[in-house]
Chain A
Amino acid sequence: MKVSVTTPVWGCSVDNLIGIAKLAEDSPVEALLSPEVPPYSALANAQIFAEYTKETKVGTWISNIYLRHPVMCAAEAMTIQELTGGRLLLGLGVSHKPVNSRLGIEMGDPIESMRDYVISVRSYLDGSSDQISLKRKVAPVPIYIAGLTERTADLAGEIADGLMPYLASADHLKKLRSCVDKGRSSGNLDSEFTMTTGLPSFISDDLDLAVESAIKGLSGYARLPFYQRVLKLSGYEDIVKSIEDGMNPAEALTPELVSDLALVGPIGKCKETLAKFAEAGADMPIITPNPVGKQSPLEVMEKIIEVIK
């Protein structure tokens, strides 16, 4: 089973990114991916990984399509692809309405925006766009898209090389997989498709502390509409309803929910959760690191590698 890892969602120093990249390179991690929460750029971070790795894939999990013109996204991706000799994995997403609204960004129809963006980026990457006179020859860049619903999974199957859901239960993942297959049959891509699933991790021998950290860590996500939707689709309608009714997510989220959707607790338990998602159809789980207690970014990465081994 291929397992990938992200760097911390809330960012970290360049020195830490380099340290994590070196740890990933010496481990079974398939790909090291960077989130994109400004003032951090996922592509700039991936470029750092590219400079400090030789074999591990690098990528974005995920770049917000509204923050760069597609030609600039492609340009930056091509520099990383050139640096790595073909190890880039470009994850694209629409981020979240509250995040984009704060930046004055009008999202339009997110699904159609994503479709247009992916098609444009691909045309710049493969040189087929007639908008660019300069050509760069790099290996094809696989494009993955974030998708939490059946409609986006269908779109991913049609136009992308992979799907990146997050906080989806194993059952919901199975549904998304079948939508991807449907979309694949309606599109004309013949590349290998990779079904990923994003799994937040809170790894510690102290289970109670890990659960507590997970509830606290995931409570912020539970306020975002897209994640509320995926939680509902994953069978947690009641919990989302109570949050919508005003309950503090940190009080609404349960130990059962976080243990179902995340890697929580000792290494052995986390391995079991990982296996559950592989069985549900995840070709490549993507683990996002979260500290339990005072774990540093490098310590968290070491724990994740223990789970993957």
Chain B
Amino acid sequence: MKIGITTPIRGCSVKDLRHLAKTAESAGFYGIFSPEVPIYSAIGNAQVMAEATKSIKIGTWVTNIYMREPIMCASEAMTVQEISEGRMILGLGNSHKPVNDVFDIDMGDQYESMKQYVIKIKSYADGSSDHYEKIPIKRDLPVFDIHITGLTKRTAALAGELADGIMPYLANLDHLKTLYSSAKSKAGDKKFEFTSGMPVFLSDDVDQAVTAARIGVGRQALRPSYKRVLTNSGFGDIIKKLESGISPEEAISDKLLNELCLFGKPSNCRKQLEAQFNNGSTMPILTPFPVGNQSPLQMMDELSKLLD
């Protein structure tokens, strides 16, 4: 049973990254991935984690395609691939319009941007790009896997067509099934990773965990792409409530939390995790959020209990 985790979305110190990666490795997680919220680099973090570990998969969840030219994204991913001796998984996403607007980034056609980006990255990584005709420097490395975020049927199909895996987030089981089906229709029989990203709020103090979950999901829910995936997952009414100004504590329902998150005591979350596998997920990716004043290392301790 492969379970991946991410480091904290809002970043942490290099010292903590190393500790988290080592702990995840010894706990038995399949992979550890870094989010990319500036002023942190997911690939820079992945490199730190690659240096600190020997066997766990290392990756990004997810790198914003607008932050680096594809050749630089490929170059940096190749370095992590070389350091980790083949353990790199490059997760790519478009980030969110409000985020990219802050940095004066014109996203253009998001679907086409992603398609072209993946095509280029693959050609730089496998050495087939015509760039190398002019600059004949090739790195003799096994190619790294590329996953792309896919919250809609169209992007899921793109993942199936071009990538090695799909990284949806905040999708319920029914919507995940739809996404996986779209990806599968293009991926055919090739090796393909169907991941499912879930926010996680773990604590023995269940009430506090529920509150943290409502606030945590509520903060993310109004990002345009997450609004869409939540709507596609049957929670359009909750989006409307949040848009009307109702607080997350009131608007986010128990049903939403039960379907999309892991929260409360780790021992009580295993059934939900099993449901992910039964639904076709080959690797749930768990994103830890603090409950109360939990530090990144305390969150990791709670995550590790899931594997006890």
A residues neighboring B (CB under 8 Å)? 10-11, 13-14, 37-41, 43-45, 47-48, 51, 64, 66-69, 71-72, 74-76, 78-80, 82-83, 99, 102-103, 105, 124, 131-132, 134-136
Contact in complex: A41, B76 (CB < 8 Å): yes
A124 to B40, CA, bound (A): 11
B98 to chain A, nearest CB (A): 12
* Complex contacts, B38 vs chain A, CB 8 Å: 71-72, 75, 124, 131-132, 134
Partner of B137, one of A39, A44, A64, A132: A39
Binary contact readout B115-156 vs A (1 if CB under 8 angstroms, 0 otherwise) = 000000000110000010011011100000000000000000
With both beta carbons as reference points, the residue of chain A lying nearest to B139 in the complex is identified as: A39
Could you tell me which residues of chain B, from 17 to 44, have a CB within 8 Å of some CB in chain A? 37-41, 43-44
A78–B139 contact, CB under 8 A? Answer: no
B residues neighboring A (CB under 8 Å): 10-11, 13-14, 37-41, 43-45, 47-48, 51, 66-69, 71-72, 74-76, 78-80, 82-83, 102-103, 105, 124-125, 131, 134-135, 137-139
A69 touches B105 (CB 8 A): yes
B14 near A83 with CB under 8 A, answer yes
* CB of A117, distance to nearest CB on chain B (Å): 13
Bound Cα distance A225, B277 (Å) = 58
Contacts of A99 in B (CB 8 A): 135
User: Which of B10, B67, B78, B83 is in CB contact (< 8 Å) with A69?
Assistant: B67
Task: For the complex, give the distance between the alpha carbons of A132 and B38 in Å.
Answer: 7
Contact of B14 with A134 in the complex, beta carbons under 8 Å: no
Partner of A38, one of B51, B71, B105: B71
Output the least CB separation between B249 and chain A (Å): 22
Q: In the assembly, what is the distance between CA of A64 and CA of B68, in Å?
A: 11
- Cβ contacts under 8 Å, A67 to chain B: 68-69, 71-72
Given pairs A51-B51, A74-B39, A103-B71, 12 additional interface contacts (CB within 8 A): A13-B82, A40-B139, A43-B44, A43-B76, A44-B79, A47-B44, A47-B48, A48-B83, A72-B41, A79-B45, A102-B131, A134-B38
Query: Are B137 and A79 within 8 A (Cβ)?
Result: no
Bound-state CA distance A40–B105 (Å) is: 25
Contact across chains for A39 and B69 when beta carbons are under 8 A apart: no
Contact A102 B134 (CB under 8 A): yes
**Known interface pairs A39-B124, A67-B72, A69-B105; A11-B39 also in contact (CB < 8 Å):** no
In the complex, what residues of A have CB within 8 A of residue B14's CB? 79, 82-83
Residue among A37, A38, A131 having the largest count of chain B Cβ atoms under 10 Å: A38
Instruction: Please determine whether A132 and B39 come into contact, CB atoms closer than 8 angstroms.
Output: yes
Q: What distance in Å separates the Cβ of B51 from its nearest Cβ neighbour in chain A? A: 5
Give the docked Cα–Cα distance between A108 and B81 (Å).
Answer: 34
26 contacts between A and B (CB under 8 A): A13-B82, A14-B83, A38-B135, A39-B139, A40-B79, A43-B76, A44-B43, A44-B79, A44-B80, A45-B79, A64-B72, A67-B68, A69-B67, A69-B103, A72-B38, A75-B44, A76-B41, A76-B43, A76-B44, A78-B39, A82-B13, A102-B131, A131-B38, A134-B38, A134-B40, A136-B39
